Amino acid sequence: MMKHFAFFAVILGFAVSASAKIVTRAIPYEQDGVKLEGYLAYDDEVTAKGRAPGVLVVPEWWGLNDYVKGRAEQIAKLGYVAFAADMYGAKVVTTDAKKATELSTPFYGKPIMADRARAGLDQLLKTNLVDAARVAAIGYCFGGSTVQALAFSGAPIAGIVSFHGGLIPVPKDAAARTKARILICHGAVDGFVSKEDREAFVKAMDDGKFDYQFISYAGAVHAFTNPGADQLAAANGLSGKIAYNASADRSSWAHMQVFFNEIFARK
């Protein structure tokens, strides 16, 4: 009898899941006079029950492209309200590494990195779909560095996940401000992050007594979560430097979900 009950419970679960609808829409906003356009994604069945945890998603240095929008939709399918932030300006995207360097360089080491991300966070909260006490931020490559900066700025977020992000210098006074728990998902052979930078980052985390995890994925180089990384590498002379790694992608996504369950206290 229990087997039959379990079977019907599974069928019912599929029926409920099938009825859910992922709603997406572009959200125009501004930061410091720059016109931006983010991408909101959520499950209308989840939000109909009340405010849900929210997740800010910050793109790679290519800009707010279809890959990042797809990640926002994946987050929505997990039961969260996702908002993919625009860091460069409405519709500003590229597949050219030189242009991406030009677009991303002005943010590193400057307040604008955290400020532009905070503008996206504010838009997520303004949707009125989100429980402000349960908000996180994730980012990829440049976006990974950005969510680190956001956390160190003292933004009101429960946690961040950096996927193959550059490791930014930890400000000396960041520990006193940082409210977020930190998960770093790092390619073990990421040639864009030196051994010295990695060791300095971990030491700063330990010295500051941050609540953090640093997970390295064997064989993974930069951009290991992006299925389009190999094509981008070939087009930009970056073969061997950026590449998709299916195992590291699956593992890091699973680690993110466990992390979210912990910081949002979801059983």
CB distance 60 to 9 below 8 Å = no
Question: What is the identity of the amino acid at 74?
Answer: Q
Beta strands in the chain (DSSP E): 22-31, 34-43, 52-58, 81-84, 130-140, 159-163, 181-187, 212-217
Please report whether residue 15 resides in a domain. Answer: no
Query: What is the domain extent for residue 130?
Result: 26-263
Q: Return the CATH number at 157.
A: 3.40.50.1820
Q: Which residues touch 105 (CB under 8 Å, ≥6 apart)?
A: none
Cα gap 254→267, rounded to integer Å: 15
Amino acid at 16: V
Residues in the chain, total: 267
pLDDT of residue 15: 39
Q: How many other C-beta atoms are found inside a 10 Å radius of the C-beta of residue 64?
A: 29
What's the structural domain count of the chain? 1
Torsion (CA) 12, 17, 20, 23 in degrees, nearest 10 = 180
Query: Is 58:137 a contact under the CB 8 Å cutoff?
Result: yes
- 36 and 119 Cβ atoms separated by less than 8 Å: yes
Query: What one-character DSSP code corresponds to residue 167?
Result: -
Instruction: Write down the pLDDT at residue 13.
Output: 42
| Residue 13 maps to a domain | no
pLDDT of residue 266: 56
Domain annotation covers residue 119: yes
In a domain, 136, yes or no: yes
Please check whether residue 44 lies inside any domain of the structure. yes
Q: Residue 265: what pLDDT?
A: 84
Torsion of CA 47, 49, 50, 54, to 10 degrees: -40
Per-residue pLDDT of the chain (267 residues; tens, 9 = 90+): 333 434 334 333 443 444 569 999 999 999 999 999 999 999 999 999 999 999 999 999 999 999 999 999 999 999 999 999 999 999 999 999 999 999 999 999 999 999 999 999 999 999 999 999 999 999 999 999 999 999 999 999 999 999 999 999 999 999 999 999 999 999 999 999 999 999 999 999 999 999 999 999 999 999 999 999 999 999 999 999 999 999 999 999 999 999 999 999 854
Whose tokens are 């000396």? That residue is 172
| C-alpha span between 10 and 33 (Å, rounded) | 51
Q: Is residue 19 part of a domain?
A: no
The whole-number pLDDT of residue 1 equals 39
CA-only gyration radius of the chain, Å? 19
Strands 130-140, 52-58: pairing is parallel
Identify whether 10 is part of a domain: no
pLDDT of residue 20: 67
d(CA 136, CA 156): 9
DSSP string over 223-264: TTT-TTHHHHHHHHT-BTTB---HHHHHHHHHHHHHHHHHHT
- Is 20 within the bounds of a domain? no
